[in-house]
Chain A
Amino acid sequence: MNGAAFIVISLVTLGAALAAAVLPNLMHAAFCLVLALLGLASFFFLLGAEFVGLALVFIYIGAVAVLIVFTILLTRRDSKEHLGLNWSGVLIACAVFGGLTWAILKTQSLSIIPPQARTLTVKRIGETLMTGYVWPLQCVGLLLTAALIGALVLVMEERR
């Protein structure tokens, strides 16, 4: 049951990701990217990590996707002219793929069956964030606040 679900979800995710990369219409590509992200979220659900999956849906589909879509809408569209192959992009993609493959192959724990993991509840995540990881959490909060203020300064009207 889980294996079948895994295969179906991976096919959908990979297909959507490929479509997001090659579709000529940017808006369609963005919608396909949303589908791919939904596929990623369902992987988390399949693994029992509800919170991470929901956060992924919430942040990426609720906010980032809308941001992407707006960016496409507000920038100049020159999808008509073919840009040719972007060699630096290919290089970076290959490097990332190679690095990830190397990391996965080097990882030992994949072959070992993990010790009976406790089910991850939202409450436990909250407790961990508020005790062991409070310092990184505060740092991220500070960074986001700085970004928010920066964005506000950028769009503020100039007083004449």
Chain B
Amino acid sequence: MSSVLDQIFVQGKRWLLSWLAGIPDWAIQIVSSLVNIAALLAVFLTLFALMSVLERKILGRMQNRYGPNRVGPFGLFQPIADGIKMLIKEDIVPARADKVVHFLAPVILAAVAILTLGVIPYGRNMTPFRIDGGILFFFAVGSATELAVFMAGWASNNKFSMLGAMRAIAQMFSYELPLIITVLPAVMIAGSLMPDKIVFSQGEYTLGILPRWFVFTPWGAAAFLLFFISGLVESNRTPFDVPEGESEIVAGHMTEYSGFKYATFFLAEYLGMFAISGLAVTLFLGGWHAPLRVLEFIPSYVWFFLKLGVLLFVYVWLRATLPRTRVDQMMNVAWKFMLPMSFACLIATAVWHYAGRGLRGWLWSLFVIVVVYSVLSILLDTRRKFARRVYRFAE
């Protein structure tokens, strides 16, 4: 029974394709891909709508007020109202803007976000597109985000937009390094760049109780934290929403966008957030595996989306509690702390592997991480109060 429920979507797709038995192979391949894409879009656009209202609800709750509660039961139809509003708004393009590039930027941004969602395993046998170098695909496609943001900033022909784009590129470049390096430990241990295999290698249980998710090893926990923070930066979320900076540069690269193009930017931001959280779940939190063997009767995709939901809640939680960081603080943390720590994770992983992947390896890799962390904190002298701010281009 449980395995039927687990594979219900896979079987459903097989049943759909069985109707096309007569047509040539390549056509079936195309239809199969289209089914995957449709399912992906349906799920994540719904999740986007849900997230946009839930985020405001949670933010409201944390700030002692009601969130949206007028449209439909508990305000759940708010996204529909928002969507209609965005669709019927006037689309204003500045007279001096570069029309084509201005139009292309949000489109590319959203397309990139959707593409990156395609390689994540959402459940047993439920990866939309199995690619041998799936992790590499994720980052290769994701790196086009920077160019798209730059296009938006440049084509708007506005100083705020340009500044926002510059900030976005600076922070994305700086944090892409720790982001990718913290992925490597999981890839090293699984011995594959394929997300499916990485999930598969976290499937067993130690002593029959503790799941072998990478987050339960010292290197995995450290890498997960670093990955999560870098992911926050990559998706431009508070406390790292420096590129938008509503109070400083009026939404940065989005200043000159209105109507549905503006909504597309938000769509891309949320989809990017889902993608990076989904990858974090895949790499460190055991993907679609259940936390306990007795709970394995619950379908795999339920576990995946539960974990995704927890991570997304943390995103909202951080947004509600933390103020925006300063650009120079962010850069300092990226290059002086995050980068050495992610290299330390890499070494700790190797130590863990060569010390036998058991308790001994666990302790030794913890030792490596603790030593590097302490040395870094002594070197960076975190107890020193804030240094006097030096202005280079102003008196």
CB < 8 Å neighbour of B101 from A31, A55, A122: A31
- A58 and B136 within 8 A (CB): yes
CB < 8 Å neighbour of A54 from B140, B144, B150, B151: B140
- A66 and B154 within 8 A (CB): no
B248 to chain A, nearest CB (A): 21
- A31 and B140 within 8 A (CB): no
- Closest A residue by C-beta to B155: A27
A8 to chain B, nearest CB (A): 15
Instruction: Please indicate the chain B residues that have their CB under 8 angstroms from the CB of A27 in the complex.
Output: 98, 101, 154
- B141 and A66 within 8 A (CB): no
- A62 and B131 within 8 A (CB): no
Dominant SS among interface residues on chain B: helix
Q: How many Å lie between the Cα of A123 and that of B131 in the bound state?
A: 13
Dominant SS among interface residues on chain A: helix
- A57 and B133 within 8 A (CB): no
Q: How many Å lie between the Cα of A123 and that of B140 in the bound state?
A: 18
- A123 and B192 within 8 A (CB): yes
- A54 and B133 within 8 A (CB): yes
- Closest A residue by C-beta to B151: A31
Q: How many Å lie between the Cα of A115 and that of B180 in the bound state?
A: 37
Take A31-B151, A50-B133 as given contacts and tell me if A66 and B140 are in contact as well, using a CB distance cutoff of 8 Å.
no
Q: Is the C-beta of A101 less than 8 angstroms from some C-beta in chain B?
A: no
Q: Is the C-beta of B244 less than 8 angstroms from some C-beta in chain A?
A: no
- B154 and A54 within 8 A (CB): no
- A57 and B147 within 8 A (CB): no
A81 to chain B, nearest CB (A): 21
Q: How many Å lie between the Cα of A50 and that of B134 in the bound state?
A: 10
- Which chain A residues (104-160) contact chain B, with CB distance < 8 Å? 121-123
Instruction: Please indicate the chain B residues that have their CB under 8 angstroms from the CB of A1 in the complex.
Output: 26
* 27 sampled A-B residue pairs with Cβ under 8 A: A1-B26, A27-B98, A28-B101, A31-B151, A50-B131, A50-B137, A51-B133, A51-B136, A54-B136, A54-B137, A54-B140, A57-B140, A57-B143, A58-B136, A58-B140, A58-B143, A61-B140, A61-B147, A62-B143, A62-B144, A62-B147, A65-B147, A66-B173, A73-B154, A122-B133, A123-B191, A123-B192
Closest 3 interchain pairs by CB?
A62-B143, A58-B140, A57-B140
